[in-house]
Amino acid sequence: MQDNTGFDQIYKVSSSGGDEIALTSGSWDDCYPRWSPDGNWIAYIKDNIAGYRQVYKIPSLGGDEIAITSSSFTHGYEWDSPEWSWDSNCLTCSSYMAGYWRIMKIPADGSNESVLTSDCFPAGSVYPKWSPDGSLVAFHRGVDGYHQIFIVTTNGTANETMLTTGVYTHWYPQWSPDGNWITYQRDTDTGWWQIFKVSITTREEVQLTQDECHHQHPQWSPDGNWIAYVKNDQTGCNQIYKIPADGGEQVALTTLTLDHWYPQWS
């Protein structure tokens, strides 16, 4: 939220409503916050620290912010947030160094970050997401002009697998709760973005939406039964929808003639 300092700051507010509470202040933009699974910390990107974007964290109850990274390269591609591992011990984030984007593993205590992905100049690897058990990170990477979904091991072996292929762009991977599937948005021959999922073992791609509308930013429900997403429907606005994870009828969750973006499950 941009407040009267003129900079973006990190705020929190009760889910039942009430006063907004500022957690950060100062003459930098703080953005793209992510709450740790244990509830104790909020990680975010701090802009323009000595000319670079760095990963910081702050206690969720308030207190002093702590720099997790201080490297002489920037962290966070576009809207790319630092993402926590399930045990709150590590984060992952895209980082720009030596001319392209890499996926980094970053200990939450601020010790040395390490590169997870192989060199892929001139393309880059962005939008990392931890698997539920922390053994893998999913991301997308430009390959021959199209972005494909990859997974990479987090144990330092840089063992990568490309899950998708073809002359299509695949964006914003999200894991199923059981860790067996990844959902994402993909362009198609019709020109519309659709919601797909891919098996991490068989690499089978399954198309979940078919209609002539754009479908974007999928999010898997914690119970694994639904995928929520944004759809530009007959209202002329972006609405929040959900669809069964195995395919089926789409269900509109919003209908007001306003744009709705970035659904997140409780």
266 residues of the chain, pLDDT tens digit each: 666 778 899 999 888 889 999 999 988 899 999 999 999 999 999 997 788 999 999 999 999 999 999 988 999 888 788 999 999 999 999 999 888 899 999 999 999 899 999 877 667 899 999 999 999 999 999 998 899 999 999 998 879 999 999 999 999 999 999 999 999 999 999 999 999 999 999 999 999 999 999 999 999 999 999 999 999 999 999 999 999 999 999 999 999 999 999 999 98
**What does the H/E/C string look like for 111-155?**
CCCEECCCCCCCCCEEEEEECCCCCEEEEEEEECCEEEEEEEECC
Residue with tokens 């990477």: 141
**3-state secondary structure labels for all residues of 36-76:** CCCCCEEEEEEEEECCEEEEEEEECCCCCCEECCCCCCEEC
Helix (H) or strand (E) holding 198: strand 194-199
Instruction: Specify the pLDDT at position 1.
Output: 64
Task: Quote the pLDDT of residue 121.
Answer: 67
pTM of the model: 0.92
- Strand-by-strand arrangement of the 226-232 sheet: 215-220, 226-232, 238-244, 251-252
CB neighbour class for 153 (10 Å; exposed up to 12, middle 13-18, buried from 19): middle
Q: What is the pLDDT of residue 120?
A: 75
